[in-house]
Amino acid sequence: MKQDYRDGFRGLLRPDETLVRACDFYPNPALPAVPAELRMPAPPTRPGRLEERARDVLGAVTGALARPLDAFSRSRWVDNRLTRAVGRAADAVEEARDTAEDAADSAVERALWGQVFEGGWQSMAGRFRVHLAHAGDPVGLQAITDQRYIVALDRNEDRRAPQWVVAVDVPRRNIARFRPRPGAVAARGRFDLVFTDGSWIALGSALRRHMELFVDACEGR
């Protein structure tokens, strides 16, 4: 186990928790998108002082332009049933096009990666997927301890001074097994995390050897 991987979990473990093995983590790019109704709201971020000043200047300029445009937008010609219907139709066409493009992309990804997810959104794998997506599908580190499986992400943009935090974790009592899947066309470092309710999700490492050592440690081999 690389020292950098071990160091990444320093401070993330509980006082009575023991690190078994850690390695790099890469989310599977073919994982399904989380439905809008299940997406968690992103935490609000406070803009910097320079950004606030820029917004004030732009607001003053665009505000003067927006007033006549706003008045025009409320006019009888714009705000009538026909124009609203046309707008809704245009939105529907654009949404249908985006859906078709997403379906085509998903078909290509399934051909390359195979099946990557099993279980509904309320399953253990589904809830794991939601939390992973909320964390931004991070490329980071993963670890198995005597208590948990952990995915960690770096919150610091300066790679020379990483600030690792827990993105998502799972108690070992909820995990049935770690199943190596190196046969996927595009993912030699893939494994499946199988939960006790029968659901599972494809995860992985950059390299097959890293994955094999990690899975062996997870399975107690």
pLDDT digits (tens, 9 = 90+) for 88-97: 655 655 655 5
The rounded distance, in Å, linking the Cα atoms of 194 and 111 is: 22
Mean pLDDT for 111-121 is 83
Q: Is the pLDDT of residue 148 over 60?
A: yes
The encoded tokens of residue 182 equal 């190196």
The rounded distance, in Å, linking the Cα atoms of 193 and 216 is: 13
The rounded distance, in Å, linking the Cα atoms of 157 and 185 is: 32
Mean of pLDDT over the chain: 80
pLDDT digits (tens, 9 = 90+) for 48-73: 555 555 556 555 555 554 555 455 44
Q: Three-state DSSP class for 59?
A: helix
For residue 43, give every residue at least 6 positions away whose Cβ sits within 8 Å of its Cβ, in sequence order, or none.
none
Give residue 184's pLDDT.
Answer: 58
Q: Is the pLDDT of residue 164 over 50?
A: yes
Q: Three-state DSSP class for 127?
A: helix
Mean pLDDT for 135-146 is 96
Binned at pLDDT 50, 70 and 90, residue 20 comes out as very high
Give residue 105's pLDDT.
Answer: 52
Count Cα neighbours of 176 within 13 Å in the Cβ-side half-sphere.
13
